[in-house]
Amino acid sequence: MDTAKLESVARALVQKGKGILAADESSGTIKKRFDSIQVQSTEPNRLYYRRMLFTTPGMEAFISGVILFDETLRQIGPDGVPLCEILAGKGVHPGIKVDKGAKNLAGFPGEKITEGLDGLRERLAEYRDLGARFAKWRSVITIGEGIPSRTCIDGNARGLARYAALCQEAGLVPIVEPEVLMDGGHTIERCEEVTADTLATVFFELHRHRVHLEGILLKPNMVISGKQCTVQAGAAEVAEATLRCFRRSVPAAVPGIVFLSGGQTPLQATENLQAMNALGPSPWQLSFSYGRALQETTLKAWGGEVENSEKAQATFFHRSKCTGAARDGQYNPVMEDEAVSLSRA
Q: Could you give the residue numbers annotated as active site? A: 177, 219
Tell how far CA 82 is from the center of its chain. Answer: 22
First-to-last alpha carbon distance for the chain, in angstroms, is 51
Cis peptide before 148 (omega within 30 of 0): yes
Give the other-Cβ count within 10 Å of 91's Cβ.
10
Residue 329: count of CB within 10 angstroms of its CB:
16
Query: What are the distances in angstroms from CA 308 to CA 145, 296, 312, 324?
Result: 46, 15, 6, 24
DSSP 275-309: HHHHT---SSEEEEEESHHHHHHHHHHHTT-GGGH
* Residue 144 DSSP one-character state: B
Beta-carbon-side half-sphere exposure of residue 209 (alpha carbons within 13 Å): 21
**What is the rounded distance in angstroms from the CA atom of residue 16 to the CA atom of residue 329?**
11
Cβ neighbours of 333 (radius 10 Å): 11
